[in-house]
Chains A and B, each alone.
With several copies, the nearest count.
Chain A
Amino acid sequence: MDFNDTPAEAEFRAEVRTWLKANVPHRDKAAESEAELIRRAKSWQAKKADAGWACLHWQKEYGGRSASPIESVIWQQEESKYDVPAGIFAIGQGMCGPTMATYATEEQKQRYLPPMARGDEIWCQLFSEPAAGSDLAGLRTKAEKDGDDWIINGQKIWTSGAHYSDYGILVTRSDPTVPKHQGLTFFFVDMKSPGIEIKPIKQISGASNFNEVYFTDVRIPDAHRLGEVGDGWRVSITTLMNERLAVGSAGGPDFADIFRLAQNIEINDQPAIKDRAVRDRLATWYCETNGLKFTKFRTQSALSRGETPGPEASIAKIVSAKKLQDIGSFGMDLMELGGIMMDENVMLEDGMFQGAFLGAPGLRIAGGTDEILRNIIAERVLGLPQDIRADKGVSFNEIPTSR
Chain B
Amino acid sequence: MNFEFSEEQNMLRDQARSFLADKCSLRNVREILDGDAPFDAEAWRGMIELGWTGTAIPEEYGGIGMGYLELCVIAEELGRSLAPTPFSSSVYLFAEAILTAGSEEQKKQYLPGIATGATIGTLAVFEGPHAPSPKNIKAKAANGLLSGEKMPVPDGDVADFAVVAANSDAGLSLYIVDLSDDSVTAQSIKTLDPTRSHAKINLSETPGELLGNEGDGWNILGQVFNAAAVLFAFEQVGGAQAALDMGKEYAMTRFAFGRPIATFQAIKHKLVDMYVATELARSNCYYGAWALDTHSTELPIAAATCRISATDAYHESSKENIQIHGGMGFTWEFDCHLFYRRSKLLSVNLGGEPRWKDMLISRLEQASA
Cβ-based interface call for A370 (8 A): yes
| Contact assessment for A333 and B354 in the assembled complex, using a CB-CB cutoff below 8 Å | yes
Q: Produce 1/0 per residue, A239-255, CB < 8 A to B.
A: 00000000000000000
Which A residues from 181 to 202 make CB contacts under 8 A with B?
201-202
Which A residues from 1 to 33 make CB contacts under 8 A with B?
1-6, 9
| Contact assessment for A384 and B331 in the assembled complex, using a CB-CB cutoff below 8 Å | no
Query: In the complex, which residues of chain A have a beta carbon less than 8 angstroms from the beta carbon of B269?
Result: 371, 374, 378
| Contact assessment for A371 and B267 in the assembled complex, using a CB-CB cutoff below 8 Å | yes
Shortest CB-to-CB span from B279 to chain A, Å, is: 6
| Contact assessment for B128 and A384 in the assembled complex, using a CB-CB cutoff below 8 Å | no
| Contact assessment for A133 and B326 in the assembled complex, using a CB-CB cutoff below 8 Å | yes
Query: In the complex, which residues of chain B have a beta carbon less than 8 angstroms from the beta carbon of A135?
Result: 256-257
Interface-located stretch among B19-27, B170-178, B247-255: B247-255
**Residue from A259, A277, A291, A394 in contact with B258 in the complex, judged by beta carbons closer than 8 Å:** A394
Query: In the complex, which residues of chain B have a beta carbon less than 8 angstroms from the beta carbon of A70?
Result: 1
* Interface-centre pick from B258, B308, B350, B353 (highest chain A CB count, 10 A): B258
Query: In the complex, which residues of chain A have a beta carbon less than 8 angstroms from the beta carbon of B263?
Result: 384-388
**Residue from B126, B133, B294 in contact with A338 in the complex, judged by beta carbons closer than 8 Å:** B126
| Contact assessment for B358 and A276 in the assembled complex, using a CB-CB cutoff below 8 Å | yes
Residue of B nearest to A398 (CB): B258
Alpha-carbon gap, A280 to B152, bound state (A): 27
Query: In the complex, which residues of chain B have a beta carbon less than 8 angstroms from the beta carbon of A298?
Result: 3-4, 283, 286
**Residue from A263, A279, A384, A385 in contact with B358 in the complex, judged by beta carbons closer than 8 Å:** A279
Residue of B nearest to A205 (CB): B330
**Residue from A259, A286, A318, A385 in contact with B262 in the complex, judged by beta carbons closer than 8 Å:** A385
Q: Produce 1/0 per residue, B327-344, CB < 8 A to A.
A: 111111100110010001
| Contact assessment for A268 and B133 in the assembled complex, using a CB-CB cutoff below 8 Å | yes
Alpha-carbon gap, A298 to B284, bound state (A): 11
Interface-located stretch among B58-66, B113-121, B161-169, B192-200: B192-200
| Contact assessment for B257 and A390 in the assembled complex, using a CB-CB cutoff below 8 Å | yes
Would A336 and B323 be within 8 Å (CB), given that A301-B4, A361-B330 are in contact? no
| Contact assessment for A128 and B126 in the assembled complex, using a CB-CB cutoff below 8 Å | no
Interface-located stretch among B139-147, B204-212, B359-367: B359-367
Query: In the complex, which residues of chain A have a beta carbon less than 8 angstroms from the beta carbon of B268?
Result: 374-375, 378, 384, 387
**Residue from A292, A295, A304, A371 in contact with B264 in the complex, judged by beta carbons closer than 8 Å:** A371
Alpha-carbon gap, A81 to B315, bound state (A): 36
| Contact assessment for A273 and B365 in the assembled complex, using a CB-CB cutoff below 8 Å | yes
Residue of A nearest to B287 (CB): A294
Which B residues from 179 to 223 make CB contacts under 8 A with A?
189-193, 198, 200
* Interface-centre pick from A302, A354, A365, A384 (highest chain B CB count, 10 A): A384
Shortest CB-to-CB span from A131 to chain B, Å, is: 8
Interface-located stretch among B47-55, B79-87, B94-102, B270-278: B270-278
Cβ-based interface call for B295 (8 A): no
Cβ-based interface call for B160 (8 A): no
Cβ-based interface call for B305 (8 A): yes
Query: In the complex, which residues of chain A have a beta carbon less than 8 angstroms from the beta carbon of B264?
Result: 371, 387
Cβ-based interface call for B231 (8 A): no
| Contact assessment for A283 and B360 in the assembled complex, using a CB-CB cutoff below 8 Å | yes
**Residue from B2, B198, B257 in contact with A340 in the complex, judged by beta carbons closer than 8 Å:** B198
| Contact assessment for B348 and A268 in the assembled complex, using a CB-CB cutoff below 8 Å | no
Alpha-carbon gap, A320 to B3, bound state (A): 21
| Contact assessment for B280 and A204 in the assembled complex, using a CB-CB cutoff below 8 Å | no
Cβ-based interface call for A400 (8 A): yes
Q: Produce 1/0 per residue, B271-305, CB < 8 A to A.
A: 11101100111011011011001100000000011
Cβ-based interface call for A364 (8 A): yes
Residue of A nearest to B255 (CB): A401
Cβ-based interface call for B108 (8 A): no
| Contact assessment for A288 and B319 in the assembled complex, using a CB-CB cutoff below 8 Å | no
> Which range contains the number of B residues in contact with the other chain?
35 or more
Alpha-carbon gap, A341 to B136, bound state (A): 19
Would A337 and B327 be within 8 Å (CB), given that A204-B340, A287-B284, A347-B129 are in contact? no
A interface residues, how many (CB within 8 angstroms): 109
Shortest CB-to-CB span from B127 to chain A, Å, is: 8
Would A128 and B327 be within 8 Å (CB), given that A325-B319, A386-B263, A390-B257 are in contact? yes
Shortest CB-to-CB span from B286 to chain A, Å, is: 6
Shortest CB-to-CB span from B296 to chain A, Å, is: 11
Would A134 and B326 be within 8 Å (CB), given that A266-B130, A298-B286, A382-B248 are in contact? yes
Query: In the complex, which residues of chain A have a beta carbon less than 8 angstroms from the beta carbon of B189?
Result: 341, 343, 346
| Contact assessment for A343 and B349 in the assembled complex, using a CB-CB cutoff below 8 Å | no
Alpha-carbon gap, A334 to B326, bound state (A): 29
**Residue from A201, A283, A391 in contact with B361 in the complex, judged by beta carbons closer than 8 Å:** A283
Query: In the complex, which residues of chain A have a beta carbon less than 8 angstroms from the beta carbon of B191?
Result: 340-343
**Residue from A9, A282, A337 in contact with B1 in the complex, judged by beta carbons closer than 8 Å:** A9
**Residue from A2, A295, A348 in contact with B283 in the complex, judged by beta carbons closer than 8 Å:** A295
Closest 9 CB pairs of A and B: A291-B280, A391-B258, A338-B129, A294-B283, A283-B357, A335-B129, A333-B352, A204-B337, A135-B256
Interface residues of A (CB under 8 A from B): 1-6, 9, 70, 73, 128, 130-131, 133-135, 138, 157-158, 201-204, 206, 259, 263, 265-269, 273, 275-280, 282-284, 286-288, 290-295, 297-298, 300-302, 304-305, 312, 315, 318-319, 325, 329, 332-343, 346-348, 354, 357-358, 361-362, 364-366, 369-371, 374-375, 377-378, 381-391, 394, 399-403
27 A-B residue pairs with CB within 8 Å: A130-B328, A134-B256, A157-B327, A202-B331, A265-B129, A267-B355, A275-B354, A286-B305, A286-B361, A291-B281, A293-B283, A297-B3, A301-B1, A315-B280, A319-B280, A332-B348, A335-B348, A337-B125, A338-B127, A342-B191, A346-B128, A346-B189, A358-B192, A382-B275, A384-B251, A387-B268, A401-B255
Beyond known contacts A329-B315, A388-B259: 13 more, CB 8 A cutoff: A1-B2, A128-B327, A133-B326, A204-B330, A263-B368, A280-B357, A283-B357, A290-B305, A294-B287, A305-B4, A333-B348, A343-B191, A390-B257
